[in-house]
Amino acid sequence: MDSRRSLRTLVTTLLGTAGLLVSGCTGGGSTGSAQPSGASSVSAPAVPAGLTSYYAQRLKWRDCGVEGFQCATMKAPLDYAKPDGGDIDLAVSRKAATGPGKRIGSLLVNPGGPGGSAVEYLQDYAGIGYPAQVRARYDMVAVDPRGVARSAPVVCLTGPQMDRFTQVDQTPDDAAEVTALNDAYRQFAQGCAKRSGKVLPHVSTVEAARDMDMLRALLGDERLNYVGASYGTFLGATYADLFPARVGRLVLDGAMDPSLDAVELNRDQTAGFETAFQAFAADCVKNADCPLGTVSAADAADRLGRLFAELDAHPIGTGDTRELTESLATTGVIAAMYDESAWPQLREAVAAAQDGDGSGLLALSDSYYERRPSGSYANLMFANAAVNCLDQPPAFTSTRAATRAVPDFEKASPVFGRSFAWAALNCADWSVRPTGTPHRVTAEGAAPIVVVGTTRDPATPYKWARSLAGQLSSGTLLTYEGDGHTAYGRGSDCVDTAINTYLLDGTPPARSKKCS
């Protein structure tokens, strides 16, 4: 599956803007005390077979070195089918409810990805930036999913190797460029198998959801309160389907549709980024400094296409050892589509590129890939591919299949379609067979679940939120008519009030409620 699938919900680290995502638990509250609880006894029926020792472990909390936060390590079976076959260590962090008011329980947060660090998100944003009334009554908690960040991270390439990978032409024009792209994906997959072969078969979303249930029990909560954004909605929906009786107050913001196959997901997301670009272009042409003209959105798209073509033929300098290639420039534009507050930055970066300075678009691309100033990379992209390639069969298994799909993808997006079609080839040579398949998620018997969709969301198109809310037996759709990826905490008082009310007293918004 395309590595761009639901890549980022946490735009905070990408572009300096906050994309807040929140989820929780339903009625009944928590069995914990007013302070964060340690391990609690879990009744036998609540413990899956063969996992008693894991559910009975005691988390040893310690100071994280970040004011107000504690950290612990949770052990989980590497392979749930063989729980005696070895452990995996998962990083957990929490911040105690601040009060006043009676503590509701723990609120687990996940920023998406797959590959986003939930612990980093908690400590950098959610634990200090969520609404005060929510933090007052919940212990804010996060666990880095298996394979991510501090939890047995998947590693695939060195920094220099990753630099070369990100520069490979993703819009091949001839047989040699097709071969080069295919080779790059194969080398990426081989690197993951070589460096992370032990964990690679065990980073699926189902396994991560089972880890969350174990954490729920160890925190002393009868039900899971959870806020998931972007890919985090797929993780939350998977949890609800596995453990419907343990669902508390769940918010799924920027929802994914588990019923779609990899081709459909990638093609829908291609259309989503086209919708976002059209919104950006319509805004850009109203500004005198728009580097893509002041005529129309269609003219702006044509001009951007010409810039991409020029960079394909002649990359430009960046003030770095790397030049700005077409692939890096495309990624830079994509990064700015996640949040409309990045549009002015994108206008400046495109204008500079037109004048021969690629540093602005390169900076946006680097933020998307989580490239550090040292030249090393966070494991976001490695974990992203590892989870995606395990969760579903690949979109395409050959360059011939990708070639045939290009016209459909270009129809979905004249701006990004060709690049997205070829990007969907990335799981073709994966070393581990997928364990998941597309399926509807119903979570029969679960308490009310709030699904949030943004009408011009690039990464998780609005139609996905409608579909997921319809699949869930207790799903309620909350619509944000606006731009950007996800909705909670992004400036809509209507959205924030509806979600805060649900998290605090369990009352979901009215069905088909719309906000702007």
Supply the pLDDT for residue 1. 30
Asked whether 212 and 23 are in contact (CB, 8 A), the reply is no
Supply the pLDDT for residue 49. 87
Give Cβ neighbours of residue 454 (< 8 Å, ≥ 6 apart): 254, 460, 462, 465, 479, 480, 482, 483, 484, 485, 486, 487
Asked whether 199 and 147 are in contact (CB, 8 A), the reply is yes
In the chain, what percentage of residues exceed pLDDT 70? Answer: 91
Closest C-alpha to 501, from 134, 132, 242: 134
Supply the pLDDT for residue 22. 24
Asked whether 359 and 318 are in contact (CB, 8 A), the reply is yes
Least confident of 7-21, 131-145, 227-241: 7-21
Least confident of 47-51, 347-351, 354-358, 473-477: 47-51
The catalytically annotated residue of 230, 365, 467, 492 is 230
Asked whether 256 and 468 are in contact (CB, 8 A), the reply is yes
How far is CA 498 from each of CA 231, 492, 495, rounded to the nearest angstrom?
Answer: 22, 10, 5
Mean pLDDT of the region 369-395: 97
Mean pLDDT of the region 184-193: 98
For the segment 62-98, what is each residue's pLDDT rounded down to a tens digit? 999 999 999 999 999 999 999 999 999 999 999 999 9
Mean pLDDT for all residues in the chain: 91
Q: How far apart are CA 112 and CA 12, in angstroms?
A: 12
* C-alpha triplet 39, 126, 224: angle, nearest 5°: 40
The tally of CA atoms less than 13 A away on the side-chain side of residue 98 is 13
Q: How far apart are CA 161 and CA 20, in angstroms?
A: 33
pLDDT of 297 over the 50 cut:
yes
Q: How many CB atoms lie within 10 A of CB 18?
A: 17
Three-state SS at 476: strand
In the chain, what percentage of residues exceed pLDDT 90? Answer: 90
For the segment 320-332, what is each residue's pLDDT rounded down to a tens digit? 999 999 999 999 9
Q: How far apart are CA 188 and CA 464, in angstroms?
A: 29
pLDDT of 463 over the 80 cut:
yes
491: left (phi over 0), alpha (psi -120 to 50) or beta: left
Supply the pLDDT for residue 350. 98
The catalytically annotated residue of 2, 457, 483, 496 is 457
For the segment 486-496, what is each residue's pLDDT rounded down to a tens digit? 999 999 999 99
Type of residue at 91: A
Q: How far apart are CA 283 and CA 280, in angstroms?
A: 5
Q: Does residue 230 carry a catalytic annotation?
A: yes
Q: How far apart are CA 376 and CA 379, in angstroms?
A: 10
Q: Does residue 204 carry a catalytic annotation?
A: no
First-to-last alpha carbon distance for the chain, in angstroms, is 32
Taking the alpha carbons of 452, 457, 462, 463 in that order, is the dihedral positive or negative?
A: negative
pLDDT of 23 over the 60 cut:
no
Asked whether 362 and 320 are in contact (CB, 8 A), the reply is yes
Q: Does residue 485 carry a catalytic annotation?
A: yes
Backbone Cα Rg of the chain: 22
Q: How far apart are CA 509 and CA 423, in angstroms?
A: 38
Type of residue at 224: L
Q: How far apart are CA 381 and CA 508, in angstroms?
A: 35
For the segment 210-247, what is each residue's pLDDT rounded down to a tens digit? 999 999 999 999 999 999 999 999 999 999 999 999 99
Supply the pLDDT for residue 10. 34
Asked whether 374 and 159 are in contact (CB, 8 A), the reply is yes
Closest C-alpha to 495, from 466, 465, 516: 516
Q: How far apart are CA 230 and CA 459, in angstroms?
A: 8
Give Cβ neighbours of residue 44 (< 8 Å, ≥ 6 apart): none
| pLDDT band of 44, cuts 50, 70, 90 | very low
| pLDDT band of 511, cuts 50, 70, 90 | confident
Tokens of 412: 């979905």
Q: How far apart are CA 371 and CA 391, in angstroms?
A: 25
Supply the pLDDT for residue 438. 97
| pLDDT band of 12, cuts 50, 70, 90 | very low
Type of residue at 413: S
The catalytically annotated residue of 204, 327, 429, 485 is 485
| pLDDT band of 51, cuts 50, 70, 90 | very high
Strand 224-229 and strand 23-24: pairing? antiparallel
Three-state SS at 41: coil
